[in-house]
Structure 1
Amino acid sequence: MAKYTGAKDVYPDTGVLVNKLGITQADDLDFMEKEIVAPKLLKLQLYPVRGLFDDKHLKKIHRYLFEDLYGFAGTYRTVDIAKGNTRFANAYFIADNVKELTKAMKQMNATNRDIFSKEMADFFAYLNHIHPFREGNGRTNREFTRQIGLNFGYELDWTKIDRDTYMNASIKSIHDETAMEPIFQRVITAEEPNLQIKTKHTNRMKQGIKNKGYGL
């Protein structure tokens, strides 16, 4: 959490984001994030957040995952942020950037795994560079891309990739949109799309998270 030192939305002298639990120690907040968010990610396997694979859908996923932790859950960041030498997209342009990206995503070529992996790697790289949320971008982006894959008839299994391999590729993708391609080659579980997978996901979305405004 030290990366937030000096920001206005952190507890003084801690670098820890203001949160609903009042936690001021970075390790404690990291632990509680995992305790709260991990079960929600599992629940989404059966009951995905309903949406149209657009900017609103992305925000609803973030809101569902992080609403117990942060007041900003489900809303785009309003401050510019950076990690190391990498600066992410200007906060002012986030809304337009995400709308343009998700609109283009719906035209992706999903003919086979090789082609779809390239398309998804490109999409992920741009979404990663936008980094639309103050915290929780990685988990939100992975869940969003998992649901996108299902909508195109592909299952994505993120457990096939270890954390370090994923993180290294994710960091590289900021400057090289092909960096995530080997990752998607591994997490996409089939050579070709399966209509039954898409239909199953559509039916699950109809029964998805209906409370607290997560339905369409």
Structure 2
Amino acid sequence: MVLENKLGITESAELAREEERISKTKAIELFTDDLLQGKTIGTFETLAFIHHHLFSDIYEFAGKIRKENIAKGNFRFAPVMYLKSSLEHIDQMPHSTFDEIVEKYVEMNAAHPFREGNGRSARIWLDHMFKHSLSKVVDWNRVDKGDYLLAMERSPIKDIEIKHLLKQSLTDQVNSREVFMKGLDASYHYEGYTTYNSEDLM
């Protein structure tokens, strides 16, 4: 199923290509124009701003909380009925240490507040926290994509793997555009979401 989009694209591979091209162009703006300057660290409001900036040329739902229940494989992200309270809880979580930041990131991943584009937006949001709290960011060139996706899948139960992966990949190159952009690579994000009805939760 191809998501309804502003581009009028009806073929999934074409949409994926255009989505990556446009979102990366918008990410360069985000970085070059320092559009996150002054944005509150570690809040859903800031994550929604990032998501809207990346995807507003593609999707009407950019920056808006999803209205569908979504799953990846056997893992169901936060049900819509609990999503708002989950995001309020995440906003209150601390983010001053490495462990706190990753734990907050893991919780936001489990929430998956948007219909599409969660991973790319959240990695920018994660680095925004790292940059301001630790003066470091993740060098995504040093993060194996397969290991990352597996660690993120397991992170709601055990976050030791994702913490290990990210800790060994931290860099102080906080002003490197190349480092910033690597986290936007499509190969790091989940594919193949399915939707399900609220009744399925009963």
Q: Output the CA distance in 2 between the equivalents of 1:99 and 1:188.
A: 28
Farther-moved stretch of structure 1 (179-188 vs 125-134): 179-188
User: Is 1:126–2:107 an aligned residue pair?
Assistant: yes
Change in Cα spacing, 1:25 to 1:174, as seen in structure 2 (3 Å) is farther
- Contact 2:151-2:159 at 8 Å conserved across structures: no
CA RMSD of aligned residues (A): 1.9
**5+ long unaligned stretches in structure 2:** 176-202
State the SS of the aligned residue for 2:160. Answer: coil
Q: 1:94 aligns with which of 76, 83, 94?
A: 83
User: Is 1:186–2:175 an aligned residue pair?
Assistant: no
State the SS of the aligned residue for 2:119. Answer: helix
Q: 2:39 aligns with which of 36, 40, 51?
A: 51
Total equivalences in the alignment: 170
Q: Could you tell me how far 1:187 is from its partner in structure 2?
A: 2.8
State the SS of the aligned residue for 2:134. Answer: coil
Q: Output the CA distance in 2 between the equivalents of 1:181 and 1:127.
A: 15
Q: Could you tell me how far 1:93 is from its partner in structure 2?
A: 2.0
In terms of fraction of residues, the more strand-rich structure is: 2
Matches within 5 A, 1:53-92: 53=41, 54-92=43-81
Runs of 4+ in 1 over 3 A off after TM superposition: none
Matches within 5 A, 1:1-216: 15-46=1-32, 47-49=34-36, 50-53=38-41, 54-106=43-95, 108=96, 110=97, 116=98, 118-156=99-137, 157-189=139-171
**5+ long unaligned stretches in structure 1:** 1-14, 111-115, 191-196, 201-216
Q: Output the CA distance in 1 between the equivalents of 2:111 and 2:62.
A: 17
Residue type of the alignment partner of 2:35: P
Q: Could you tell me how far 1:48 is from its partner in structure 2?
A: 3.3
% same residue? 31
Residue type of the alignment partner of 1:176: K
State the SS of the aligned residue for 1:81. Answer: strand
TM-score by length of 2: 0.77
- Contact 1:121-1:178 at 8 Å conserved across structures: no
State the SS of the aligned residue for 2:171. Answer: coil
